[in-house]
Structures are given as C-alpha cells and as structure tokens.
Amino acid sequence: MSWTDERVETLKKMWSEGQSASQIAKELGGVTRNAVIGKVHRLGLSNRAGASAPAPEKKPAKPAAAKPKKAVRPEDKVIEVTVTPRKPIVPAGQPLPPQPSANEISPEALATVREVEKGAKKITLMELTERTCKWPIGDPATDDFWFCGLAVQQGKPYCEAHVGVAFQPMSNRRDRRR
C-alpha cells in the first residue's frame, strides 16, 4: 500500500474531523490503525486543533469538616526492628574465615555416599537419562570424571544416597550457620 496524495488528503480530512485511527484505517482500506498513526505523526497532524471542546475547569473541592486528631502516645506505637549482624569484612590478601560447606554433613551420610560411589555405574555425560543419577564425581577437567548413574529417587535428579547429601532438611542448614 502506498500513500497517494488522495489517500493522504482523506486521512487529513478525517483526522481533522476527529475520526479515530481505526475508523480512518477502515475507510482507507489496506492499511492498519498503526500505519495511520505513524503517518499522522510524520505529517505533523498529531495535535487535533478544534477537534474537541476544551475541558471544563474544575472547581476546587470543598474541604471536609476537620476531624479532631487523636493524640498518639509513645506506648501506642510499637516498631519492631530486626537487625541481622553483618559478617566482618576481610581485608584483601587475608584468607577468608571457614564457610559452611557440604563437607559438614554427617559422617554417616558421607560413608554411605562413598560406599554407593564404589558401586556406581560410572557413566559419561552422553549416557545420562532421566532415570540415572546425575551426581558428578571427580574433576571435569580430567579423564577420571564421571556421573553416578544409579537409579534416581522418584522426582529427584539423584540416587537415594546423593539425595541425602544434596537435599538436606532446612533445620540442619540453619543450625550450620550458627
């Protein structure tokens, strides 16, 4: 569709009459509402002179009867503030203090994981499926890297032993931070 002189004149006339962009597009045919709006802006017609009556002036609202303010006593206001202590800032070049890690799980769970890993299927990334444990073992930068590969626990990505390590109860994690 091209904007012929005739179509532009129709657009200008309808726009000055206060027609909407949708109405103009329908009348012209083969053009969208957005195309009409774009053309109006390019032609500099966006201000519709005299298309609508000026808005009536608003009268200031009458003030409502002032209600007496109730005195607020200090005991009426209770503000509880919880302050979380900040961790100390360690200057550059000094070692960081020990952080909680996965190594802080129970020795029983670690022993179970080690036993399970001895009997693991030792599969590669390409052999993983939705039914195989995806627990990574070893350093990915070496040839001695593999995944557990045992049967996964229902709804989890890992076998039973690795679920016990990966998904610890909230209370255990909370206690570890203290």
Which pLDDT tens digits describe the chain residue by residue (178 residues)? 688 999 999 999 999 999 999 999 999 988 999 999 999 999 988 766 554 545 555 555 666 666 666 666 666 666 777 777 776 777 777 776 665 554 466 677 777 888 888 888 889 999 999 999 999 988 888 888 999 999 999 999 999 888 888 877 766 556 655 5
Against a cut of 0.75, is the pTM above it? Answer: no
Only one residue has tokens 């949708």, namely 22
Q: What is the DSSP letter of 136?
A: E
b vs e for 24-58, b when ≥16 Cβ sit within 10 Å of the residue's Cβ?
bbeebeebeeebbbebbeeeeeeeeeeeeeeeeee
Residue 69 confidence (pLDDT):
66
Residue 178 confidence (pLDDT):
56
Residue 64 confidence (pLDDT):
60
**R_g (Cα) of the chain, nearest Å:** 36
Residue 22 confidence (pLDDT):
93
Residue 103 confidence (pLDDT):
46
Q: Which whole-number Å values give the CA distances from 12 to 30, 52, 139, in the listed order?
A: 17, 16, 72
Calculate ∠ Cα 91-93-99, nearest 5°: 75
